Chains A and B, each alone.
Chain A
Amino acid sequence: KNQVEQSPQSLIILEGKNCTLQCNYTVSPFSNLRWYKQDTGRGPVSLTIMTFSENTKSNGRYTATLDADTKQSSLHITASQLSDSASYICVVSEERGNKLTFGTGTQLKVEL
């Protein structure tokens, strides 16, 4: 069964600090990897999408990396803000079709 595993499960950091979230996947054949931000009570919102040929992509303070050989990805958040508090979900798409496999997410809390 295709799987997406994320770590840590939860994380608390102080405002202004940086953090890195990890994602490992076994989805094959692989099409693309996405990071979503999900605020409480809302649907996920896309942060980045990377194909197997891309190894880094940035969106403001968010930078995602991808190593398709080791099937690992990371999401780095710089200069965190209180509004970054949310669940960050790693999502992998299979090569054919539109089916997405979601990780369980990392719950990030940014505190003063």
Chain B
Amino acid sequence: GAGVSQSPRYKVAKRGQDVALRCDPISGHVSLFWYQQALGQGPEFLTYFQNEAQLDKSGLPSDRFFAERPEGSVSTLKIQRTQQEDSAVYLCASSPTGIVEQYFGPGTRLTVT
């Protein structure tokens, strides 16, 4: 069956531009997570949704980062006024309610020049 998909797979942005990264979770999965993975590092938690409710956004590094999931399915991570330190792979994961397992998408590699 279809897994978690993310788009675009690669994004190059000039410093100061806004970007929007999309995540399509597995159909029916209630929980959705965003992670940031710097080169050579493990992923770091950004934010978590249960349906359309953003229950935890403690990992968002600044107010330039904003995530939404308005209909409880597709989610968008928006980064405003991008900076070089935002360059990373952004991973999305989803899971069914009450299940521990998280299923990851392939990630979007963002490069800010």
Interface residues of A (CB under 8 A from B): 4, 32, 41-46, 49, 89, 91, 93, 97-105
Contacts and interface: CB of A to CB of B under 8 A. Distances in A.
B66 interface: no
Interface core residue of A43, A46, A49, A91 (most chain B CB under 10 Å):
A43
B104 A44 contact: yes
Given A49-B101, A98-B31, A43 B42 contact: no
Given A43-B91, A43-B93, A49-B101, A102 B106 contact: no
B106 A104 contact: no
B33 A102 contact: no
Interface residues of B, number: 23
A43 B56 contact: no
Contacts of B101: 46, 49
Query: What 7 A-B pairs come out closest when comparing CB atoms?
Result: A43-B104, A102-B42, A104-B42, A102-B43, A44-B104, A43-B105, A43-B106
A49 B91 CA distance: 20
Contacts of B43: 44, 89, 100, 102
A104 B104 contact: no
Contacts of B59: 99
A100 B45 contact: yes
